[in-house]
Amino acid sequence: MKNITFAERLKEARKAANLSQQALADKIGRTKSTISRWESGERNPKMFEMVELENILGIQARDLMFGEQEITDTILPKISQVSSELTKPRQEKVLNFATNQLDEQNQEKKKEHAKIVSIKNEQEKFDLADLVDDSKVDWDKWVSFDGRPLTDEVKEAMKKALGKELEDK
């Protein structure tokens, strides 16, 4: 399978947005030859230009750089184009509808996350010899039988006991 380059993705995204090189150049304040150089792979846009491309083409920069093999028609430029032709009251209706849809989507996500319960079943595995080396022990994870943090004396006693135990083997 052929790897698709940034230049090819940019060209596909521009065409999917129904923009000519000149139209895209006009929208971002660059020349047609600049767009042509980007699409040929001769040059790459700067970071701020990538942000402008995101906004105009309705596709994230990371998708342009590393995205899927094919760029399909994006709906955001179409929504933008159609809504820009509407009167102000109708544009407000579109905005209200989109805002309500986003709120519903966020509520659904919250409900999904509320259903998920994370339980950590893995037990931490360690070598007993590592207990003697303070740099390899996170003492803040250890507690005494009553749940309080270990005192320095208890830590030393554990080191001595485990150290002798290891020496006896």
pLDDT in tens, 132-142: 566 666 656 66
Q: What is the pLDDT of residue 69?
A: 44
pLDDT at 81 over 50: yes
pLDDT in tens, 110-123: 877 666 655 555 55
Using 50, 70 and 90 to split pLDDT, how confident is the model at 1? very low
pLDDT at 42 over 80: yes
CATH entry 3.60.9.10 includes domain 1-74: no
| 3-state SS, residue 83 | helix
Query: Residue 48 contacts by C-beta under 8 Å, 6 or more apart in sequence?
Result: none
Beta bridge partners of 149: 143
Domain ranges across the chain: 1-74, 85-115, 128-168
> Averaged over 6-12, what is the pLDDT?
90
Q: What is the pLDDT of residue 116?
A: 60
Q: What is the pLDDT of residue 35?
A: 95
Residue with tokens 């989109």: 98
Count of helices and strands (H, E) across the chain? 8, 0
Closest among 48, 75, 76, 72 to 61, alpha carbons compared: 48
Using 50, 70 and 90 to split pLDDT, how confident is the model at 82? confident
Closest among 69, 10, 20 to 44, alpha carbons compared: 10
AA identity, residue 112: E
Mean pLDDT taken over the chain: 78
What is d(CA 40, CA 1) in angstroms, rounded to the nearest whole number? 20
